[in-house]
Amino acid sequence: MGLVAGALPHPIQHLQQQQQQKQQQQQQQQKQQQQQQQQQQQQKQQQQQKQQKQKQKQQKRVFLQLASQLGG
């Protein structure tokens, strides 16, 4: 009986291991969420930059049209 009891992992140790694993999983999930948020922010910034560039192009076009109409 003594050998069998020794071979089995101690219940308290086993519980601690489970808790540690849960904590690690939670941390990983938090990291993943942070990464997703960062990616979303980057995508938003890229979209904003594209929109700004498009606006600048449009402004140039309008300016050129006006200039040509004025005979410049």
- In this prediction, residue 39 carries a pLDDT of 93
Residue type, 35: Q
How much of the chain is in helix, strand and coil states, percent to nearest 5?
A: 90, 0, 10
Average pLDDT over residues 7-36: 85
Residue type, 31: K
Per-residue pLDDT band for 7 (boundaries 50, 70, 90) equals low
Token couple for 18: 């489970």
List pLDDT tens digits, range 26-60: 999 999 999 999 999 999 999 999 999 999 999 99
Token couple for 44: 């938003």
- φ and ψ at residue 9, rounded to 5 degrees: -65, 145
Cα–Cα distances (Å) from 26 to 14, 17, 33, in that order, read 19, 14, 11
